[in-house]
Amino acid sequence: MTSGFTNEQAARAALLGAAKALGPAGLNAGRAGNLSLRWHRGGRDGLLLTPSAIDYDRMVEDDIVWLPLMPGLAAGRDDALADPPECFGSRRPSSEWRLHHDVHLDRPGVGAVIHVHAPWATTLACLDKVQREGVPAFHYMIAVAGGDSLPCAPYEPFGSARLSAVTLAALRDRHACLLANHGMVATGATLSDCFELALQVEWLCRVYAQVLQCGTPVLLDEARMRDALARFGRYRSAQSSS
Ligand code: 13P
């Protein structure tokens, strides 16, 4: 899969633009969150990634780093805040480099990954019920996440390989998930798909939180969600052919 940009500078500019748009879109606060875009360099598969701990207002294109995909990395048991074995750029990569790297490695159809501490997604990700069951099919739009629920990965420390491993597991058959006591991860074939999904997940989480405050949600059963997912596929393919 390619990112759709003709050169690396254009890809960096798009990633930076998306990073700076997170706050105004209500998806993030301060320095939290990180974004990546699949980008091949010199024949190597890899990703452009936002740097660690830099305020988005001050971030510039050259702060973005590039990592190769490293299929030989050990399985995710480590909870240390380790730097990647290979990384190119003048800044330290996001502490969540392993999560971004592993999603790009595991899911060749993914072109971009966004991790944010969006307020409603994070609110739900702190609830015991949501950590156990995910966000259920309370609204047909849950289908945007790729199935009949929005799963929540169990808590693991930020920046750990273990967080990457539980995120990959939660993303199985899904385009997005919550991270317990942390935030959300959204993926997409393109950066704009990924950004749009992050906004939709945040909307779903806000509405589900409101529903829980008002009463007991009526959940859509398996047959209705199967139908919604099929309709959703057709609706999306109509968009892409127009
Ligand atoms: P970075 O600034 O290292 O990307 O970390 C922010 C964050 O949200 C960690 O989960």
Which of the four pLDDT bands, split at 50, 70 and 90, describes residue 81?
confident
32 lines ligand 1 (CB under 6 A): yes
- What is the CA(46)–ligand 1 centre distance, in A? 19
**Dihedral angle of Cα 33, 34, 35, 41, to the nearest 10 degrees:** 180
| pLDDT at 242 > cutoff 60 | no
Are 209 and 122 spatial neighbours (Cβ–Cβ below 8 Å)?
Answer: no
pTM reported for the whole predicted model: 0.95
Residue 10 Cα to ligand 1 middle (Å) = 23
pLDDT of residue 233: 80
Kindly report the protein residue whose alpha carbon is nearest to atom 10 of ligand 1.
158
For the question of residue 96 being annotated catalytic, the response is yes
In this prediction, residue 23 carries a pLDDT of 96
Q: Where are the beta strands (DSSP E) in the chain?
A: 34-38, 46-49, 65-68, 112-116, 152-153, 176-179, 183-188
Contacts of 84 (CB under 8 A, 6+ apart): 67, 70, 93, 97, 98, 101
Encode pLDDT of 133-183 as tens digits: 999 999 999 999 999 999 999 999 999 999 999 999 999 999 999 999 999
Catalytic residue among 8, 86, 96, 156: 96
Q: Kindly state if the Cβ of 164 falls inside 6 Å of ligand 1.
A: no
Paired with 61 in beta bridges are none
Pick from 114, 158, 181 the residue to mutate for probing ligand 1's pocket: most ligand atoms within 8 Å of its CB: 158
